[in-house]
Structure 1
Amino acid sequence: MATQAHSQRDSIEAAASHFADAICADKLIHTFGTGHSHILAEEIFYRAGGLANVSVVVDDELMLHKAVVSATNKERESATVSNLLASHPMVSGDCLLVISNSGGNGATLELAKKAKELGVKVIALTSVNHASSAKARSPQGVRLHEIADVVLDNGGVPGDACISFDGLATPVAATSTIIGAFLLQSVVVETVARVLASGRKPELFLSANLDGGDAHNKALFAKYVKQIPILN
């Protein structure tokens, strides 16, 4: 973590700058990931101490709780995102955080591309090592880190799992989730500092498991539920 905190300092600050700009312009920060990257898409959504203007882009067909093989196949198809922008509209000035360890699946790349065409700032959380070692699945042959405005590199090895054992061909212990969560929370901290420096107070969720949490969050739900219906 210390290595990535140091090596990604500039990217953390750049991502936070875009997030702070979105907050100060009353825009949204969208998050998206397929498969296990969906975990990180939710990491900063409706989170205790988290930014209230975060909208997670979710699609059951791209998650693992229903059909693993089907979700894996669909995340590789560009056409999969055709309905996502209709159900999760984005506008110029918004930000889109796209999480993909491999950085090469069609759905992820297509959403990032469409968002950029709308004037949305795209921040990628990916493994540049993995992405550079594997063949891109997009028709254009590009990878997420090559089209994003800001790249947060988790520093992971190709294949994500990092511990090898004698006699085993398959390594264990994927690192992308824990390092990714650390990087994203670092961006949130820097974002809050920048918003405060601008003279504004960032809107933040309070844990619903603390006294007063429900009352605190109720006002934020009322403000954002039309833009982020999942807050209902």
Structure 2
Amino acid sequence: MLAKQWLNNARDVMSRIEDTQMENIRKTAEVMADSIEAGRWVHTFGCGHATIPIEEMYPRIGGFVGFHPMIELPLTFFTRITGEMGVHQFLFLERMEGYGVEIMKGYNFDPKDTMWVFSHSGINNVNIDVALEAKKKGMKVIAFGSAAEAKGKQTRHSSGKTIFDVADLVVDTCAPAGDASVPLKNHQDKIGPVSTMAFITCVWMTVTTVAEILADRGVKLHIHPSHNVPGDTTAKERLEGCLTEYKRRVAGV
């Protein structure tokens, strides 16, 4: 069954992440914990399906304040496929050098912040722009993606660098370069991509490690609660606490 083949492929990727990336995940989590403990941000950026791990992180039940999503609508909302904000425009924008520089002008940053970029291939210009601008502003840059598979790939950026070359720290998601993992009879292209599952796996392994580090340091986390549990009479109050802290950080107080 192809369903089981995809499941086995997904499990294999998760096992390889566990076997090879635990030390890198711990290193990235330490950097992120320092930013959050300082009252600053871990900014998160990606485009295309690499915005999914960003949306998964915060706001999200079980997530906590300290992760700031930077998602550009034209880089994520291409589910109309054709017409307005379609796939053609998206592909053009993610490869347009300079677009990421303009995106970065819309936010206030601090050297104590961390920039966390998601890119499966590591070669597209908007991600590299964002990473280079973050480094200019004194931030540590962390990249998650298929780093080993990107070795030897030709970047699209004039710097000559991939996102993995720019980053201070890298976590390899261990997904195959082509992403899709299941061969289909009578077809050239495979089906069943695994990069999104790999991203989400790495995200929660990292975020839970950040939480563990901060809790061990005695830092209070503002954790987004479930508001669907019968009998939890303080969930609304805890949610308001999260949003209040988020607004405080956004305001730079």
Asked if Structure 1 and Structure 2 have the same fold, meaning a TM-score greater than 0.5 normalized by the shorter chain, the answer is: yes
* Mapping for residues 56-205 of structure 1, pairs under 5 Å: 56-63=69-76, 64-65=78-79, 66-132=85-151, 134-205=153-224
Is 1:98–1:112's contact at 8 Å kept on the other side of the alignment? yes
Does structure 1 retain, via aligned residues, the 8 Å contact 2:222–2:245?
no
**One of 223, 232, 237 as aligned partner of 1:215:** 237
Separation (CA, whole Å) in 2 of partners of 1:227 and 1:86: 18
Q: Residues of 2 paired with 1:174 and 1:89: CA distance?
A: 35
Deviation, structure 1 residue 209: 3.0
Matched residue SS, 1:167 = coil
CA distance in 2, matches of 1:109, 1:74: 13
TM-score, normalisation: structure 2:
0.85
- The gaps in structure 1 that reach 5 residues or longer are none
Moved more, 32-41 or 133-142: 133-142
* Residue number in structure 2 paired with 1:31: 44
Please report the TM-score for the alignment, with normalisation by the length of structure 1. Answer: 0.92
Q: How many aligned residue pairs are there?
A: 229
Post-superposition shift, 1:141? 1.8
Structure 2: unaligned runs, 5 residues or longer: 1-13, 80-84
SS in 1 for 2:108: coil
Indicate if the aligned counterparts of 2:145 and 2:172 stay in contact, CA closer than 8 A.
yes
Q: Deviations over 1:34-57 (max 9, x none)?
A: 011011121212111112111100
Of 61-70 and 183-192, deviating more is: 61-70
Across the aligned residues of Structure 1 and Structure 2, the Cα RMSD in angstroms comes to 1.6
| Cα distance in 1, alignment partners of residues 250 and 145 from structure 2 | 25
CA distance in 2, matches of 1:4, 1:98: 18
Give me the whole-angstrom Cα distance separating, in 2, the residues matched to 1:133 and 1:155.
16
Structure 1 counterpart of 2:70, one-letter code:
V
What's the secondary structure of 2:151's corresponding residue?
helix
Q: CA deviation at 1:148?
A: 0.7
Name the amino acid aligned to 1:122. Answer: V
| Residue 222 of structure 1, CA deviation | 1.7
Q: Could you tell me whether the CA contact under 8 Å between 1:133 and 1:158 is conserved in 2? A: no
Structure 1 stretch 66-75 or stretch 106-115: which is displaced more? 66-75
Counterpart secondary structure, 2:104: helix
Distance 1:58 1:44 in 2: 12
Q: CA 1:207–1:161 in structure 2 vs 1: closer, same or farther (change >3 Å)?
A: same
Match of 1:2 in 2: 15
Identity across matched positions, percent: 25
Instruction: Report the Cα distance in structure 2 between the residues aligned to 1:219 and 1:170, rounded to whole angstroms.
Output: 48
- 55, 71, 92: which one aligns with 1:42: 55
